[in-house]
Structure 1
């Protein structure tokens, strides 16, 4: 591997370790070559997302000139240009392109992804769950599952449905955990119809009976997505199964902590402690990933 790619993959790993700890710890269960590819997919998505959500964050792989929309369009153009050429002088982009071409990932996935990132610059609310899922999360979440599949090497194409559900599940968990942060950015990723039906207002930034019932409904929806995603684990080779299963269990535990906090997602960011992540990682290696019962819980 050239020095350019060595540097690029190293930077992708640093980005994943810093901002995507669940992806990072899950990827530790994969062989080194696959681990690098997970880091590359995550890095591309993180850099694009940061242009939209964290424009002040400096990264040498991304231009600092222009508006967020202009920077995102430049980054998109640089990516597809590098993909068509097969390389890039920028280390991170070179690693991303090397991974995508080597794994045979469909370039169309990235069209949907960049379209969703651009939508974040113009849309602040979504009317219904179906509109949010199909109009935004299709390109920002479900497609991430599709991007990861060539890295995970499933036994059958039937794995695509559960992989898409896992992408949706991860992002919906983010939406429920990060309500306050998203409000600070002027966005609400909770369906307006659901908020109206429960008469819940996130702008109050406090837990009310209406907020509890609305959030309980969202958590139940989220667990249904995790349940479908879990059906895809047997379709993966053992290392990929351990990787995805560990990430699934860890991220789903955020929902448990949201419930334990009485749905207070405003006071502080809800996290799964590092010791719990390490425990599950060791368990996955020595015993296996535990199967989680995502059936609806009694009120």
Structure 2
């Protein structure tokens, strides 16, 4: 009997790397993990690989590196080293780091634009020197931290399915949805951002009116993104629709939460209960299939 280790060299490690990346998503985001289950298998793999590599970067900036006792200077060095590793990874066919290996395969397979990942790391570096953003700096930050992620997701979708719609029109929708997701995350994390990380992403004092204006922007951006869903490849539609619906549910819950409950060291982090997530996801997927 032929040993399985002799079959298709490299595929066992490739599969391991993809599974490690999938584990990163399932551990960190139940919402995205749930939505990606609705994607076609190759699309799901590549979206998970993208998520995993940017999540590690986020842990360097905001999480594990700091709790491990690394100094601010060391965190900066770690981020620079990781940025170099990520941006150069597609040029090599093997990496001992499974997340980097998975990401490199996705970047090559989907011909992802290196400039998008470079823009992402530019925004991550800006988090190391917190500032009070104005409209211009916030737009630049959101482009690097979220819009380019939407654009890379679109490239992944198109790699695994054909589209007839104008690419720039689709890119506008991908950017808008990424922007909406990020702004909603700003609002749900505003307590920890201001009291723990000492960051202020919003360009005006946080009041009920300011929150509602930002949520109105998010709603409009979600609308723009959702109008593009029927034009996406079939294997991507249900998953994107589910993610958008989950964030719209989160938006509604943020709007219904008193501002005082969102701020301060004991702030509530608004979330969507698991049974509601399942229902919202099922309804959104059903509508996407019928569209």
1:230 pairs, out of 212, 223, 226, with: 226
TM-score by length of 1: 0.83
Aligned to 2:201: 189
Question: Matches of 1:65 and 1:77 in 2, distance apart?
Answer: 19
Gaps of 5+ in 1: 201-210, 292-299
**2:188 counterpart of 1:177:** yes
1:112-153 deviations in Å (ceiling 9; x for gaps): 11111111111332022x3301x2111111100111012212
Question: Matches of 2:91 and 2:235 in 1, distance apart?
Answer: 31
2:24 pairs, out of 9, 12, 15, with: 15
Question: Matches of 2:67 and 2:100 in 1, distance apart?
Answer: 16
On the 8 A contact 1:65/1:71 being kept in 2, the answer is no
Aligned to 1:271: 271
1:218 pairs, out of 211, 214, 221, with: 214
When you count helix as a share of all residues, which structure comes out higher? 2
More displaced, 153-162 or 276-285? 276-285
**2:48 counterpart of 1:39:** yes
1:190-247 deviations in Å (ceiling 9; x for gaps): 11xx32xxxx4xxxxxxxxxx2112111111111111111121121123311111110
On the 8 A contact 1:173/1:252 being kept in 2, the answer is no
TM-score by length of 2: 0.86
On the 8 A contact 1:87/1:98 being kept in 2, the answer is no
Question: Matches of 2:236 and 2:115 in 1, distance apart?
Answer: 24
Question: Matches of 2:66 and 2:16 in 1, distance apart?
Answer: 20
Question: Matches of 1:225 and 1:253 in 2, distance apart?
Answer: 14
C-alpha RMSD over aligned residues: 2.3
Question: Matches of 1:81 and 1:217 in 2, distance apart?
Answer: 40
Aligned length: 269
Question: Matches of 2:218 and 2:284 in 1, distance apart?
Answer: 23
On the 8 A contact 1:8/1:94 being kept in 2, the answer is yes
Judging changes above 3 Å, is the alpha-carbon distance between structure 1 residues 86 and 227 closer, same or farther for their aligned structure 2 residues?
A: same
**2:124 counterpart of 1:117:** yes
Q: CA deviation at 1:54?
A: 0.6
Aligned to 1:132: 138
Matches within 5 A, 1:224-263: 224-263=220-259
Gaps of 5+ in 2: 1-9
On the 8 A contact 2:92/2:104 being kept in 1, the answer is no
Q: CA deviation at 1:102?
A: 0.6
Aligned to 1:108: 115
Judging changes above 3 Å, is the alpha-carbon distance between structure 1 residues 3 and 176 closer, same or farther for their aligned structure 2 residues?
A: same
Aligned to 1:83: 90
Matches within 5 A, 1:157-172: 157=167, 158-172=169-183
